[in-house]
Each structure stands twice: as structure tokens, then as C-alpha cells.
Amino acid sequence: MYLGEISGLKVGQATRDAFGDALKELGDKYPQIVTVDGDVGNSTRTEVFAKAYPERGFNVGIAESNMVSVAGGLASTGHIPVVASFAAFLLCNAYDQIRMSIAFPGMNVKLVGTHAGISIGEDGPSQMGIEDVSLACSLPGVAVVVTADAVSTKAATAAMIEHKGPVYLRLGRPNVAEIYSEGDTFEIGKANTVREGDDVTIIANGLMVAGAIDAATKLAEEGISARVIDMHTVKPIDADAIQKAAKETGAIVVAEEHLAHGGLGSAVSMVVSQTTPVPMAYVNVGDCFAESGDPQGLLDKYGLTAAAIVDAVKKVK
Amino acid sequence: MAAQANALSMEELKEKGKVLRRLIIRMTTEAGSGHPSSSLSAVEVVNALWFGGFMKYDPENPTWDARDRFILSKGHAVPVLYAAMAEAGYFSTEDVMSLRKLGSPFEGHPNMKRLPGIEASTGSLGQGLSLGIGQALGARLNKNGSNVFVVIGDGEMGEGQVWEALGAAEKYKLGNLTAIIDQNGYQQTGATSEVLDLGSFEEKIAAFGWHTQTIDGNCQESVVEALEIAAKVTDRPKAIISKTKKGFGILPVLEAAGDTNYHGKPLSPELAEKALALLS
């Protein structure tokens, strides 16, 4: 059982794979794109770009701090550096370098954190970026994007390159359900309603969007009409979509593959509490470091399931 | 477009050094805070780069693509950079008297977003050399002949990121990158040899494959000569270990005040007067 299966969604590419393919395609149109890699390009898929454009792909070794600041320097000479590493290492290891070499001077650097969430599986908690969204959101001027599937990741990669200024794009390791079709719109800062509904709204991002669609399918069997919003941009958040959902459906559940604190749940709560207070519930990893195990087993054990979302909906309705 | 900045004669350069020192003291005393002693140790290096003909820049067009880049990784010494830029014509010498005051772009550490001509925002130690690598790689891609100079503090060499950067610069054979270690021997709480003794910078940096020199960094002739030698090396990154004294130029005043480290505090108006008299 995978997230999306209840609703009959087909499994597509992993978001990291879609990113690698998209970046390579963008290389022609944007000669300013360069990649800076901390020796995990074959995992993050920046290697696909670096092989196509060898003079524009830099591997500085296992040295995340240097990697991020080198990208800051490249940006200050007019290039568009894409820096990819595991989300845990990029945000946690090189946080000060992101802060001082990129965010503070507003450098046009694209930070890509792959292998985010507990769904990386067996490699265990040291490799799981589950606080990365919180850290990225705390940096002034950094846009934070979490994509749900391959199609939207391709669009997000292009949008990220078009965007002026620093962006953090969060990607996952496993293959995930296809939610979007080619040609669907994607705009940084503008949420997508992927399923209409009137009784409750489930706001999700990353692979939990597929989980939210499954939950909506199950809820429909019980006569509950759930709206599902893919809040792919956590910052700047689409406050209009949140307020509209709160007004029209009267209750909100937020689902994300992240710690309880500082992620999508916090961002949505800030909007709801200040503008349109309604009952809310949260589905997330909680306040812990998880463990090693197979990806599906981890999602089940830590409550990142359609069933958990259904339970949360019942708490607020 | 400005080409190479006109090189001052050695006599003129030494006179300019005194001008920079006086400005550093005046602006930090006026601010009532700052790092004058850390700025003073680096005067001869900054002076030679900006006025000895080693950097090309254009104050009228600070974003000129082919300009050379100067990064002050030891960002707390920014008064020496503001002084040089004022003398170069980026702004007036009176402008910098707003140092560290609310609303002023002359912040306590370099902020490139607020002051055109500043090439890197620094202040969290250890990042300048990596930024310099990025700029050197970028210049290489841009094929514009731009050179990058990075001034690093000796206490700052305790940051692991510097050693990550030393390896990466060598890997990419960045002949357009010059690092100058301002080895003034002191850091915040005491002598660098006591806080964290890293031994010979020259031996260690040379072991990374860099071209290295060790000089008396408060001797203007030695600094100019070392930069001339470094300019001729184009096949690998270059380091100049510049042995200096914190507070050089006003040491008798600091000694009389009983503190030769004098880290992170301005001279009182009385001490500043004595220091300015010494530099007149």
C-alpha cells in the first residue's frame, strides 16, 4: 500500500529524479546555471546536469560549508548556482553559510535538499531531513518549496530558476504517486487545490498530498466532503487559499512529512489564528528523530497515513 | 572604464597608509565601538591592493563586470576597508564617520546589500575564502580576467571551512585567487598561539599545493614585492602569510594604555588624539 493507491493514483518518478531531468533541460536555456555539489550528485541527481555541462558542474567534496559559500560567490558573479545535498546536511550542516553567504546578501542561489523526510527509509534518522523546512523558513527572504510529485517538481525547478533570489526546494528519495498532469499550472506562492470539497480542508505538501487525496477518498465514502490543497510553497504562504478554505469548510487538517514544529503546520496556523480561527489538527512526524526501517513501515509507524489524516479530520469535524 | 588603478609611488603609498590609519581611528572613536587594532594590522596589505596598482576597480561603476574583487573575511576589521574605499572615491571620508550608527550603510561588518563596492557580506568568520573561490570560478566562466583577493584573520584560521576551501581552490587551480592571512598573533581572548596554535601556516597551506610566501606585513615594501610575485603566478592559488602587529602604527599609545591586543574596543577621545598626533 503506497500513498495514493486508495485513490488509484499511479506511481511515477521520485521528485529528485524529476528535478535532475528538469535541470538538465533548463541548462540550454539558462547558460548561467551552474551546480555546486558536495559529492552526492549521483544521489541528488545534479550529476545529470554536470555530465551534460561538465564545465558548469563543480564538486567540492564532502564539505557542505564550503559548498554553500562557493555558491554564494558564484552568484555574485552573475551565475545561478544550484546547490544540492541531502536536506539534513544542507540545512543543518551549512545553516550559517546559507544565512551569511546566501540569505543575508540575497544571493540568487537555489538550494535543493533531497532525501527529505522519513521516507528515505533504512539509512535512518541521521540522514532524514525532518527539520529542514523549519530552518529554511526561519531565513529572511528565502522562498521554501516542497513538491508532491514528479510533474510539479519539473515545473517547480523551472519556476525556481526564474525566481529572483534564494529558494529552498525540498525533494524526496522514493518514487511517489502522480498527482498532476503535464501542463498543470505551478506558481511559487500560489497553492493548488487538487480536490474540491466543502466540509473540511486538508492542507498538505510533499508525499502527504497523495495521502490527503486517499483520505478524501475514504472520507467521501462516509459522506464527508474534503477539500485537498497542495501547499507546495511554505514561504511565502498562500494566505488567501487558507482563509478561503477556513471560511468555506470551517476546519483544517495539515499533513506533512516533517517535525511538528516550524513546518507547514506552523505556517498555516499563523494565518488561521490571525485571520480566520477554525478548529485545526495536525499530521506530522511529531517531536522525535524516527529510526531505520523500510519506508512504508516508517510512514505507518509514525502516523503518516491516510488513516491518520481521516482520524485527524474526525477530531475537527 | 577604469583600467588598473594608478599605482602610487612607495613614498605616496606610505603617506596613504597614514591617511587610512587616521581615518580608522577617527571613525571608530566617533562610533564609540569597533575594532581599530584589528583594522590597523592590515593597513599595508589593503593599502597596497587598493593603491599600489594591484586591483582594477571603478568607483563610478562599482558593478563593472571585469573588476577585481576584494573580500574582507575578517569582517570586523571593516574600518580599514571603508577607509580605503573612501580614499578611492566610492564615498567621502566624512560619510564613513556614520560608522555603526542607526541608518548608516557603514555597518559594523561589511554588508554588500547596503553599500555598493562591498563584494561580500562577512562577519561570521571562515566564509570569505569559499566566497572567493566562487567568485574566482565565476570570473573564469565569465572569461573577464577578474582577480579575487581575500584577507583572512589568523584566529579565523581555526574555522574548518577555511581548510575545506584550501583544498577546493587547489583542485580548481585558481590562479586568479590570492589569500592574504593577516597574522597579527592575537584573537579575541588572547594570543593565537595560546588559544589554538595551528603551527606554520606557510607549511600547511603549501602542503595543499598553493604558492606561498611569508612576509613582514607591516613593511610596505615587502607587501608590494609579495603581491608582485603573486601576480606572476597564474597556475595555482596563492597565499601570502602577512606577519603583522595588532594596532601597528599606534603601538606606543596602546602600550601606554596597557593593552597591546586591544580587541574590539575603540580608542577613547584622549587616546585617539595621542594616536592621531603620532600619525600626523
For residues B220 and B280, is the Cβ–Cβ distance under 8 A?
Answer: no
Contacts of A58 in chain B (CB under 8 A): 137, 172
| Cell matching residue A125 | 534518522
- For the segment B190-199, what is each residue's pLDDT rounded down to a tens digit? 999 999 999 9
Residue A162 is a catalytic residue:
no
Contacts of B117 in chain A (CB under 8 A): none
- For the segment B73-90, what is each residue's pLDDT rounded down to a tens digit? 999 999 999 999 999 999
d(CA B144, CA B136): 11
How far is C-alpha B141 from the chain's CA centre? 26
> Which domains are assigned to chain A?
12-177 (3.40.50.970), 192-316 (3.40.50.920)
Q: What is the pLDDT of residue A180?
A: 98
d(CA B223, CA B215): 7
- Read off the pLDDT of each residue in A217-227 and give the average, rounded to a whole number: 98
Q: Which of A64, A131, A178, A256 is catalytic?
A: A64
d(CA B83, CA A114): 44
* Chain A touched by B167 (CB under 8 Å): yes
Which spans in A132-202 are helix H?
132-137, 150-162
d(CA B19, CA B46): 12
Residue A110, classified by CB atoms within 10 Å of its CB into exposed (0-12), middle (13-18) or buried (19+), is buried
Residues whose CB falls within 8 Å of the CB of residue B13, separated by 6 or more in sequence, listed in order: B47, B48, B51, B52, B220, B224
d(CA A245, CA A252): 8
Identify the sign of the CA torsion B63, B69, B75, B80: negative
Q: What is the pLDDT of residue A153?
A: 98
pLDDT at position B4 over 90 = no
Q: What is the pLDDT of residue B3?
A: 46
The pTM for the full model equals 0.97
B263 pLDDT band, cuts 50/70/90, is very high
Q: What percent of chain A has pLDDT over 90?
A: 100
- Read off the pLDDT of each residue in A194-208 and give the average, rounded to a whole number: 98
A143 pLDDT band, cuts 50/70/90, is very high
Tell me what ipTM this predicted complex has.
0.96
d(CA A203, CA A93): 30
Residue of A nearest to B146 (CA): A77
Distance of CA A262 to CAs A131, A137, A148, A153, A313, Å?
Answer: 8, 8, 19, 23, 21
A236 pLDDT band, cuts 50/70/90, is very high
d(CA A92, CA A173): 18
Residue A59 β-bridge partners: A37
Of residues A313, A238, A231, the one with CA closest to residue A278: A313
* Chain B touched by A66 (CB under 8 Å): yes
Residue of A nearest to B142 (CA): A77
Domain range annotation of chain B? 11-278
Fold exhibited by the domain B11-278: Rossmann fold (3.40.50)
- Read off the pLDDT of each residue in A18-29 and give the average, rounded to a whole number: 98
Residue of B nearest to A59 (CA): B168
* Separation in Å, CA of B18 to nearest CA in chain A: 32
Q: Which residue in the set A60, A68, A81 is minimally distant from B168, CB to CB?
A: A60
B5 pLDDT band, cuts 50/70/90, is low
Q: What is the pLDDT of residue B205?
A: 98
Residue for cell digits 573580500?
B71
B6 pLDDT band, cuts 50/70/90, is confident
For residue B266, cis peptide bond before it (omega within 30 degrees of 0): no
Identify the sign of the CA torsion B158, B164, B170, B172: negative
pLDDT at position B1 over 80 = no
For residues A6 and A214, is the Cβ–Cβ distance under 8 A?
Answer: yes
- Please give the biggest Cα pair distance in chain A: 58
Exposure string for A20-46, b = 16+ CB within 10 A, e = fewer: bbbbbebbeeeebbbbbbbebbebbbb
Residue for cell digits 498530498?
A209
The sheet carrying A280-283 orders its strands as: A192-195, A226-230, A200-204, A252-255, A280-283
| Cell matching residue A52 | 551534460
pLDDT at position B137 over 60 = yes
d(CA A136, CA A125): 19
Lowest mean pLDDT among A126-135, A203-212, B3-12: B3-12
d(CA A31, CA A262): 36
